[in-house]
């Protein structure tokens, strides 16, 4: 079963991509949150500027929707250079990458999203490009095969991945700079929503902003998506100004509760409580009960439930967290209690 969710961290449409591009900050100064990362990045950028060199290859890792693409664009614009955007799955043959690399100018940023999904041959083709700014291209076959060495301009590779551990060690080690992007605090999301509302020329009061921020799962992309849904609702149902009451009505209509959980999250938790007595339950059994793939549960549903303490992962399997029971208004029964601790 495929899942279409309003609270997914992945981009859900080309329309959404366009909307996000219009909201994207273009300088580090405008960028909200990730204080430490911003400080470190601004030093790397300033040092590179002073040396008149490109920024070192930079690896950004963290869950989707937190700003990896935005940061790659910021590095390029702060360095006054061009950015070329591609992704691991789009680079099928070495020829695809060859074309891109040989067209780079000095200081350009090449952004490879989902870099952990590069094929082994393309990944290995990238090594000399990263290390020595050259590519080894093999022409002809068999006895006539020759390797041509093509020099490249010095460029910056920015790679993005959801987990640094997904990368092979040789690729990971070729990045001089590694940055982790973590979830945003509610007060940071409040600032992001205010900034977005102002760019979109939408009136929103402070309570409504806070309400949307609280339901955004620590993720700017979700915050901006919820803002867009609430804005549509208010435009139709009211005079266009977003108030807390209207924001809650709009989000409830979408099935999103005050923690940012949707119907699928709640169904997962209820099945764990009702069918498995709060756990421990194996991932495959849970997937079968929910009629979902176990990968979907692990990649899409569980990370946020684990983060907010609604779920615990143990050697024996998944267990419900106490906070989830309180949130769903379920009292701990004796049997639940004994299975919980
Ligand atoms: N829009 C999306 N993410 C943002 C961020 N971190 N700062 C400012 N605006 C944003």
Domain harbouring 150, CATH code: 3.40.50.300
pLDDT value for 29? 95
Contact 195/223 with Cβ under 8 angstroms? no
Of 114-123, 245-254, 327-336, the one with minimum mean pLDDT is 327-336
- Domain edge (last residue) among 156, 180, 204: 180
My answer on whether 198 and 278 are in the same domain is no
Domain span holding position 118: 34-180
My answer on whether 40 and 72 are in the same domain is yes
C-alpha–C-alpha distance, residues 233 and 37, integer Å: 36
Contact 210/186 with Cβ under 8 angstroms? yes
Tell me how far CA of residue 188 lies from CA of 35, 195, 310, in angstroms: 10, 11, 23
Degrees (nearest 5) of the Cα angle 42, 176, 54? 60
pLDDT value for 303? 83
In a domain, 315, yes or no: yes
- How many Cβ atoms sit within 10 Å of the Cβ of residue 131? 11
Q: Which two tokens mark 120?
A: 């082994």
> Catalytic residue at 221?
yes
In a domain, 197, yes or no: yes
Distance 30 CA to ligand 1 centre (A): 8
Residue 331 has pLDDT above 60, yes or no: yes
Which three-class secondary structure string do you get for 69-133?
Answer: HHHHHHHHHHCCCCEEEEEHHHCCCHHHHHHHHHCCCCCCEEEEECHHHCCHHHHHHHHHHHHHC
Residue 261 has pLDDT above 60, yes or no: yes
Domain tally, the chain: 3
My answer on whether 166 and 196 are in the same domain is no
In a domain, 24, yes or no: no
Cβ of 25 below 6 Å from ligand 1: yes
**Within 13 Å, how many C-alpha atoms sit on residue 213's CB side?**
22
Q: Give the relative orientation of helices 283-290 and 263-274 as an angle to the nearest 10 degrees.
A: 120
My answer on whether 147 and 242 are in the same domain is no
My answer on whether 329 and 211 are in the same domain is no
144-155: per-residue pLDDT in tens? 888 889 999 999
Q: Calculate the average pLDDT of the chain.
A: 92
My answer on whether 197 and 173 are in the same domain is no
Global confidence as pTM: 0.87
Cβ of 280 below 6 Å from ligand 1: no
C-alpha–C-alpha distance, residues 10 and 80, integer Å: 29
In a domain, 237, yes or no: yes
Write the DSSP symbol of residue 30. Answer: T
My answer on whether 212 and 241 are in the same domain is yes
Residue 120 has pLDDT above 80, yes or no: yes
Cβ of 67 below 6 Å from ligand 1: yes
My answer on whether 65 and 115 are in the same domain is yes
User: Which atom of ligand 1 is nearest the CA belonging to 195?
Assistant: 9
Cβ of 74 below 6 Å from ligand 1: no
C-alpha–C-alpha distance, residues 68 and 164, integer Å: 13
Contact 291/1 with Cβ under 8 angstroms? yes
In a domain, 272, yes or no: yes
My answer on whether 88 and 157 are in the same domain is yes
Q: How confident is the model at residue 336 (pLDDT cuts 50, 70, 90)?
A: low
* From 5, 24, 94, 113, active-site residue: 113
Q: Which two tokens mark 15?
A: 């329309």
> Catalytic residue at 113?
yes
My answer on whether 169 and 200 are in the same domain is no
In a domain, 190, yes or no: yes
Contact 109/57 with Cβ under 8 angstroms? no
In a domain, 17, yes or no: no
Q: How confident is the model at residue 341 (pLDDT cuts 50, 70, 90)?
A: very low
* From 68, 174, 225, 319, active-site residue: 68
201-234: per-residue pLDDT in tens? 999 999 999 999 999 999 999 999 999 999 999 9
């Amino acid at each position: 079963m495929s899942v279409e969710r309003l609270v997914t961290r992945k981009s859900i449409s080309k329309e959404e991509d366009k909307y996000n591009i219009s909201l994207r900050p273009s300088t580090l100064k405008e960028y909200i949150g990730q204080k430490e990362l911003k400080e470190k990045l601004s030093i790397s950028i300033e040092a590179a500027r002073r040396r008149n060199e490109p920024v070192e290859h930079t690896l950004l890792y963290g869950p989707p929707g937190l700003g990896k693409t935005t940061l790659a664009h910021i590095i390029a614009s702060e360095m006054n250079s061009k950015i070329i955007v591609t992704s691991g799955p789009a680079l099928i043959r070495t020829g695809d990458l060859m074309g891109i690399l040989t067209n780079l100018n000095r200081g350009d940023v090449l952004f490879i999203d989902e870099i952990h999904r590069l094929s082994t041959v393309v990944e290995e083709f990238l090594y000399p490009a990263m290390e020595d700014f050259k590519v080894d291209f093999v022409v002809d076959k068999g006895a006539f095969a020759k390797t041509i060495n093509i020099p490249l301009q010095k460029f910056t590779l920015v790679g993005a991945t959801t987990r640094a551990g997904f990368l092979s060690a040789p690729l990971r080690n070729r990045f001089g700079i590694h940055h982790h992007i973590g979830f945003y605090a509610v007060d940071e999301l409040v600032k992001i929503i205010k900034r977005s509302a102002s760019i979109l020329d939408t009136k929103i009061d402070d309570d409504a902003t806070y309400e949307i921020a609280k339901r955004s799962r620590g993720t700017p992309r979700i915050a901006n998506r919820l803002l867009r849904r609430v804005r549509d609702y208010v435009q139709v149902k009211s005079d266009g100004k977003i108030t807390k009451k209207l924001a809650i009505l709009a989000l409830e209509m979408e099935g999103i509760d005050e923690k940012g959980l949707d119907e699928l999250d709640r169904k997962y938790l209820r099945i764990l409580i009702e069918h498995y007595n709060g756990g421990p339950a194996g991932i495959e059994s849970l997937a079968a009960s929910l009629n979902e793939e176990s990968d979907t549960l692990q990649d899409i549903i569980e990370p946020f439930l684990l983060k907010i303490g609604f779920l615990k992962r143990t050697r024996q399997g998944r267990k419900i967290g106490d906070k989830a029971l309180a949130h769903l208004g379920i009292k701990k029964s004796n049997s639940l209690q004994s299975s919980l601790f």
